């Protein structure tokens, strides 16, 4: 089986055995490779709920047109940015996991670059064979553990005597 970055090509060989010469005919079929991905999207805090829904409907359409499926979309809400982006000091964060072909990522990134309400985005390819539901559960557990560590650190800091 031959592999290209986007398509796996299978071939069948037919031996037509004509007299002393052998003639081979190849039948090539294309199979779309579907891989797991996660995306973090940062939108302008001033974007309306309709604009947010429109972006995700458009992304869903692109993913499905490339033989993919959205497994999970989570809103992390509005947060203060560490550094202002395009004069914005707050942004709305989204976390999304999905399966799609590699070509869909180029199209998703193109549409997000054209959308003025999207401040930043990042798509990450997950290892092949990753169960997206298990991945999301582990991801959420990691977030909870981090919050607990930060709360303990904050509590220890507040107990320290002031100088």
**Residue that is written with structure tokens 């779309």 in the block:** 32
Output the pTM of the full model.
0.69
| Cα-to-chain-centroid distance, residue 36 | 8
Give alpha helix (H) positions in 10-119.
49-65, 102-114
Distance CA 150, CA 106 (A): 37
In angstroms, how far is the first alpha carbon of the chain from the final one?
70
Tens-level pLDDT at each residue, the chain (163 residues): 444 444 444 444 444 454 445 555 666 666 678 899 999 999 999 999 999 999 999 999 999 998 899 998 988 888 898 898 888 889 999 999 999 998 899 999 999 999 999 999 999 999 988 888 888 888 888 888 988 998 888 888 888 776 6
Q: Which tokens go with 116? A: 């003025």
Q: Which residues contact 45 (CB under 8 A, 6 or more apart)?
A: 78, 88, 90, 91, 92
User: CB of 139 within 8 A of CB of 130?
Assistant: no
Domains for the chain: give ranges and CATH numbers. 2-31 (no CATH), 34-137 (3.30.70.60)
Strand partners, 44: 91
Distance CA 44, CA 118 (A): 6
Q: Which tokens go with 108? A: 């998703």
């Amino acid at each position: 089986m031959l592999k290209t970055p986007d398509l796996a090509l299978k071939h069948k060989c037919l031996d037509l055995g004509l007299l002393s010469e052998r003639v081979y005919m190849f039948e090539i079929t294309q199979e779309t490779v579907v891989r797991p991905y996660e995306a973090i999207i940062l939108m302008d805090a001033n974007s309306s709920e309709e604009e947010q829904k429109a972006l995700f409907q458009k992304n869903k359409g692109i993913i499905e047109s490339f033989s993919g499926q959205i497994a999970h979309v989570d809103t992390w809400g509005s947060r203060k940015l560490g550094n202002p982006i395009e004069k914005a000091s707050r942004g709305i964060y989204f976390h999304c996991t999905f399966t799609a072909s590699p070509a869909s990522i180029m199209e998703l990134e193109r549409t997000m670059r054209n959308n003025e309400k999207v401040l930043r985005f990042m798509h990450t390819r997950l290892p092949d064979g990753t169960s997206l539901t298990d991945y999301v559960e582990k991801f959420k557990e990691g977030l909870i553990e981090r919050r607990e560590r930060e709360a303990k650190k904050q509590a220890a800091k507040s107990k320290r005597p002031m100088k």
